Structure 1
Amino acid sequence: MSSPSSGAVPTVPAADRPPAPPVGTRSVPRPRAHRAVRLLPRHTSRQARGLLRRARSLRLPALSSALAAFALAGCGVLILRLVQAQTGTTGLLVGLGLALLPLPFVLGGLAWLNQTARVPVRHTVFCLAWGACAATTVAIMANGWASDFLIAHQGSARGETLGAEFATPLIEETAKAAALLILLLPVRRRLRCRTRRGPGLLRRAAGRPPRGPGRTRVGPGPSRYVRAVPHERRRARSSPRTLAAGTVLGGLTACGFAFTENALYLGRAFTADQQARLDSIGLGEAPSLRDFDGTVHTFVLRGLLSPFAHPLFTALTGLGLALTLTTGRRWLARVAAPAGLLLSMALHGVWNAAAGLGTDGFLLVYGLLMVPAFALLVCFAAWAQTRRSRQPVRAVARC
């Protein structure tokens, strides 16, 4: 068989050819691909993309702060409703006004200690709001349930005693300690991420050896050095600022808690005295200032004699938690926080039990236990303040 020549065109069989269009017709052109029309102008779409980038750049702390603010505001509305249900509107207003009187003195003492602790303002506001709103809401509800349970199973007198001396300190101190856990737990993560800095950029570029690990330049001149504390010693010994921060956070939380609790008890006392006065007037007796002896007695007991009681209890919890989170001694880290919480509960329980011992028993507990404990707290605050003021002097003396 001969092959076709290179210049010949191959013939296609008639069966394989496409059918020819009929005569007098024309092919319909395909639709053209049009450009998509923008729903929004170009500048508007750019603004939308910018807003999306800003929304994605929102971090978790901002969201958590907003959620915490809404939650605390809801607890504040709820606690006002609960207190108003027990005291009435007039009793609530009188209780709030009287509870405000000792507040500046307690906050002033904590502000003086905060010169060493340097607690941020947002943490201060959070602790006050937590103690005044969240902790009191939990305490009122849980104390009511615990009291009903104990009275139903142990009788009226024994149930009230067990509730005041055991259940109430456990519930209230745990509710206040929750704020300290929220604020102080990130300290452990920051301490674990702490590393040493390498040699400076200029020293690496010039080829100079880095400075010794035990020396740090603190001022101009070739001979001014101060020997820094090694990393292990910093971890093994808690600084006065850290201990003062735990004490301040605990005191602020308890200060807010005591404010709401004082408003509740003072409002109850005023409502009871007002009702007794109306009853005496209805019986024909002349009104006098002695009709409000219950309110005056409650204010003297809670506002004058023991305004630092709750801050003292919760300061022990904050001090123990600060030791646990910052110390390098393993045994102290395991013991400090539970010991501080248990000590605050025990002191709170003894203080509640002293109210049922009469005037002599109350004054005995007040003089032998509460006053020395408060004096120790004041001595600790003075020591922390002194250490803070002496630290720059020691650094200059070593130069």
Structure 2
Amino acid sequence: MPLYSRLDALHRSLRYPALSSALAAFALAGSGVLIIRLVQRQTGTTGLLVGLGLALLPLPFVLGAVAWLNQAARVPLRHALFCLAWGACAATTFALLANGWASDFLVAHSARGETLGAEFATPLIEELSKGAAILLLLLPIRRRRRCPTGHDCTLLARQPSAPVPRPRSGGPRGLPRIRRHLRPLPYLRPAVPRPAGSRPRARSSPRTLAAGLVLGAITACGFAFTENALYLGRAFTDDQQSRLDSIGLGEPPTLRDFDSTVHTFVLRALLSPFAHPLFTALTGLGVAVTLTTGRRWLARAAAPAGLVMAIGLHGVWNAAAGLGTDGFLLIYGLVMVPAFATLVCFAVWAHARRSRQLPASPR
């Protein structure tokens, strides 16, 4: 059975959004309990609490930046909370388990298994698990409305919209057929300009581009929070054990006993709080372009290209950790800073364009 036929069957089967929402909430809660248990096994109870407390410190600043961009995207709060919960619970649970299995397999079958796992397998697994949140939002779920006569009736979530015009390079069949079976979210719909004397063509508006960035970045915020709690809790537990060992050897405890915790906090919370949002924002941007552009080649290439760029940048970031201090600072200055600055400029442009397009409020 073709893929679009399976999606159409799924489209007809998802008739009860309340049940779907309840199942999603139950699954996220279960994955949240599981990830807390997995982190607690590696850090201990004290390490878990310390890790969660330290991981909370950079979170308001990152979420504040995403909320500023969301003024242009206008992503609903329920979708933003779903992406945040998915990243913090489901994505981290899958990534932690899959990374362990992939690392064991690569170490058992390759002399460079640890390097391959950190630079290739881990970025692939983590970016796929985070990007899945955007695809879940696009599932063609139906919703129940009340008819004007007072009786309940089930209508498709799809609203009548202007048909995608025929591109100059080919007919509508040239666009991905899977796009016709996805849920048309209001903030991920193409804009169709109709200038005089030219053929209309669907295009990506500043709002749709900002929405892709917001969905990817907020999912990564949740993922980075849980991952920071894991690494900070593990570092604190190791430092605490070293401190106990120094006391047993008759050495007085000092603040240098917690160097690993301080180093991890500076690296993850101060130097790179936007690393994961940067990676997954590329995936969200690619999905937004694929859903809204009217160009055949761009619709087919945008989402895979965004995912590949996210995986590649993530792999470069992980590889920089093994290059020592000088190598890390070189990668940080030549790759991460320009990439982040480019994304910030793009977000400011989308926000400014969207703000100019909004109608002025009446006085």
Question: TM-score per shorter chain, which class?
Answer: 0.7 to 0.9
Aligned equivalents of 1:125 and 1:250: distance in 2? 12
Aligned to 1:125: 81
- Distance apart, 1:230 and its partner CA: 2.5
Aligned to 1:261: 227
Give the secondary structure class of the aligned counterpart of 1:119.
coil
**Pick aligned residue for 1:275 from 241, 260, 272:** 241
Aligned to 1:159: 113
Aligned equivalents of 1:84 and 1:195: distance in 2? 52
Aligned to 2:255: 289
Aligned to 2:144: none
- Are residue 99 (structure 1) and residue 55 (structure 2) matched? yes
Q: Which amino acid aligns with 1:125?
A: L
- Distance apart, 1:340 and its partner CA: 0.2
Q: Which stretch has the larger CA shift, 381-390 or 255-264?
A: 381-390
Structure 1, unaligned runs of 5 or more: 1-57, 197-227, 395-399
Aligned to 1:337: 303
Q: Say if 1:184 and 1:322, in contact at 8 Å, map to a contact too.
A: no
- Distance apart, 1:347 and its partner CA: 0.1
- Are residue 194 (structure 1) and residue 135 (structure 2) matched? no
Q: Say if 1:321 and 1:340, in contact at 8 Å, map to a contact too.
A: yes
Q: Which amino acid aligns with 1:281?
A: I
Give the secondary structure class of the aligned counterpart of 1:236.
coil
**Pick aligned residue for 1:179 from 130, 133, 137:** 133
Q: Which amino acid aligns with 1:261?
A: E
- Distance apart, 1:193 and its partner CA: 4.2
CA change 1:321–1:234 in 2 (3 A) is farther
Aligned equivalents of 1:190 and 1:329: distance in 2? 25
Q: Which amino acid aligns with 1:194?
A: S
Q: Say if 2:83 and 2:219, in contact at 8 Å, map to a contact too.
A: yes
Give the secondary structure class of the aligned counterpart of 2:237.
helix
- Are residue 62 (structure 1) and residue 29 (structure 2) matched? no
Aligned to 2:27: 71
Deviations 1:336-370 (A, max 9, x none): 00000000000000000000000000000000110
Q: Say if 2:215 and 2:281, in contact at 8 Å, map to a contact too.
A: yes
Aligned equivalents of 2:214 and 2:22: distance in 1? 24
Aligned equivalents of 1:233 and 1:140: distance in 2? 50
Aligned equivalents of 1:126 and 1:378: distance in 2? 24
Give the secondary structure class of the aligned counterpart of 2:253.
coil
CA change 1:388–1:66 in 2 (3 A) is same
Aligned equivalents of 1:234 and 1:384: distance in 2? 22
Aligned equivalents of 2:358 and 2:97: distance in 1? 49
- Scaled by the length of structure 2, the TM-score of the pair is 0.80
CA change 1:95–1:120 in 2 (3 A) is same
Aligned to 1:372: 338
Aligned equivalents of 2:319 and 2:297: distance in 1? 32
- Distance apart, 1:269 and its partner CA: 0.2
Q: Say if 1:235 and 1:326, in contact at 8 Å, map to a contact too.
A: no
Aligned equivalents of 1:235 and 1:356: distance in 2? 47
- Are residue 242 (structure 1) and residue 196 (structure 2) matched? no
Across the aligned residues of Structure 1 and Structure 2, the Cα RMSD in angstroms comes to 2.3
Identical-pair percentage: 80
Deviations 1:264-291 (A, max 9, x none): 0000000000000000100000000110
Q: Which stretch has the larger CA shift, 234-243 or 277-286?
A: 234-243
Give the secondary structure class of the aligned counterpart of 2:29.
helix
Deviations 1:278-316 (A, max 9, x none): 001000000001100000000000000000000000000
Aligned to 1:203: none
Aligned to 1:324: 290
Q: Which amino acid aligns with 2:131?
A: A
Aligned equivalents of 1:137 and 1:377: distance in 2? 28
Aligned to 2:124: 170
Structure 2, unaligned runs of 5 or more: 1-13, 142-155, 164-191
Aligned to 1:207: none
Q: Say if 2:193 and 2:201, in contact at 8 Å, map to a contact too.
A: no
Aligned equivalents of 1:392 and 1:86: distance in 2? 50
CA change 1:87–1:270 in 2 (3 A) is same
Aligned to 1:388: 354
Aligned equivalents of 2:320 and 2:140: distance in 1? 38
Aligned to 1:303: 269
CA change 1:366–1:193 in 2 (3 A) is same
Give the secondary structure class of the aligned counterpart of 2:273.
coil
Q: Which amino acid aligns with 1:165?
A: E
Aligned equivalents of 2:301 and 2:139: distance in 1? 16
Q: Say if 1:266 and 1:298, in contact at 8 Å, map to a contact too.
A: yes
User: How many pairs align?
Assistant: 304
- Scaled by the length of structure 1, the TM-score of the pair is 0.73
Q: Say if 1:116 and 1:241, in contact at 8 Å, map to a contact too.
A: yes
CA change 1:256–1:392 in 2 (3 A) is closer
Aligned to 1:312: 278
Deviations 1:133-171 (A, max 9, x none): 00000000000000000111113xx11100000000000
Aligned equivalents of 1:76 and 1:90: distance in 2? 18
